[in-house]
Structure 1
Amino acid sequence: MAEILVLVGHVAGQVRKPSLELLTLARGLGTPVAVCAGADPGVEALETLGRYGARRIHLVETEELEEYPVGWVQILADMAAETAPEAILLESTPEGKEIAARLAVRLGSGVLTDAVDVRQGPSGPVVTQWAFAAGFTVTSRVTRGVPVIAVKPNAVAPSPAPVEPSISRGGLALDEASLRTRVASRAVRQSTGRPQLTEAEVVVSGGRGLGGAEHFGLVERLADALGGAVGASRAAVDAGWYPHAYQVGQTGVTVSPQLYLAIGISGAIQHRAGMQTSKTIVAVNRDPEAPIFELADHGVVGDLFAVVPQLLDEIARRRD
């Protein structure tokens, strides 16, 4: 079977969940090859990649990719020229989509982003995408060159398929194109201990119905009880109740968790565009005419300050 290149990225002891999702999809297309970088990825990380089906792990032994991330384009293009892969899979994040676009141009190939499923078809990989804020489901395929496909996090549940991977190693001499873009500075985001918003299987978002920043603690408690991430509507962010980095919506972060809880969110189209691909949507709002109920799988019409504490008590009771 032809190889499928999977961009895992920087590995330092732990492999992120979206990479395991990509490997799961890659197994249905061909032979997965995990492409990662790091001077010392760690035995546990390499074992994890093998446990999820990476037949080969290509380790780029360099630290330059931290400063020159466009170097990933050079690495993947060189590997594609050597192995003629069936497809190249990346994460559909801002960084992943930039690499995918640059790589497609360099290879003279087609690129598909925001994929939610990838299957092998008679003429190569067939991609399912949600378009126009998930209003339409589109089936697409690349007709020229090596398909470069960026897949949304949480598109598939990662499943193990253990193999004993071979490990290849290589260096990197950055070319002129890779050196044109450089990361000038970084600021470390303070860790909350919760999963990343785009990768979380459970997201609890708060909106205007909370009435103020002081009440977001209720949303945080519910997210922590469910092992999820915290989100916020644009109205809550614009009011200064929660940081912009946690805004879910068309001008914020797009999420697609297994469970999305909208607490005190009316459901404006801007917000719905960022979360309506969630597998199960639960809404709590005291307005029975709130648009969010049109989208919700389960809805509670009531005062969130009464409903959420009851929900927290029930979660605690079931865990005891």
Structure 2
Amino acid sequence: MIGMGCVEDWTALTGLRVLLGVFEAGFFPGTWYVRYDTGKRYGVFYLIGSLASALSGILAYGLMQMNGLAGYAGWRWIFIMEGIITVLLGIGGYFLIVPFPDQDAWKSKFFLTKQEVEFVIATVEEDRGDSKPEPFNMVKFLRPARSPKVWGFAMMFLCTTTMAYAIAYFLPIILRDRMGFDIAASQCLVAPPYAFGALLMFAESWFGDKYHVRGPQILTNCVMGITGLAITGWTPTVGSQYFGIFLLTGAVQANIPQVMSYQANNIRGQWTRAFCSATLVGFGGIGGIAGTMIFRPQDAPAYIPGLWACITACLIIGTICISLDLYFMRQNKRAAAGEIALEGSDGSFRYTL
């Protein structure tokens, strides 16, 4: 049973649901696009989610005005209405989502012709040589578990989703308890930082695809996130603290597609991709659990332990990214010298820094 004293806090769950949906559905573009097209596609995918999060607070506040209608509290109407919308979209998605390229995707109505699907498969095959699935083999499926980079990607995503869920759930509460805004203002002020994050993530994704880089954006977002946390936590004015939230929210939102693109660009093979996708989703879910415990009620109104936890997460992401880039750089040099063939390729594959 949820106490009425927590009614307004439940409005923050709207953003959480949006994040849950996009985290679970975000690996499909990797099968349709070559490595340096995936960044923009992930960026657009999460841009939609970020904009939805920007509007979620306003929507939640609007639904709260239904308080008392049919005898239900306002927070119950949030779950009822958004649940109905989710179900309707899910039913529509069943008929609209196309299958993978190798699974007769050309049979989907209003999509691509058979020749166009074959062109997509040929393009992906030329880029990384893994467009066609191999027969399932448990040994091949589990083989990537021996690679430290796989768990490095997963840990980066865990830290990113920890902060993303923490922000999605607690940002309205922080705006209210720490900065002194009322409930309506707290919900509405969630929107601008998420809108900024949407623009930033697409700009970084476009840059990464054009210049074939992922690590610099991730590291930039880590620095921006730490800066935003410091400004939010240790500056005296509400205006500067809100500016810090802009930096933090933008950095975290932008890093979601960047980490996913970083992983997608540096693995090869259908079963490797399947295993790595599973680890990313799994660790992302763990981050979601951790995110709900970052900003604890007993730490209000300053939430200093939560701020330090997020700073630590940024440092972990940055450390792993630098370590992987140094490893990838060394392996690329060995491949260029003809010493090794990367990821079981014919020798043409190179890691993306």
Class of the TM-score when normalised by the shorter of the 2 chains? under 0.3
TM-score, reference length from structure 1: 0.23
Which TM-score applies when normalising by structure 2? 0.22
- Structure showing the higher helix proportion among its residues: 2
Q: Which has the higher strand share?
A: 1
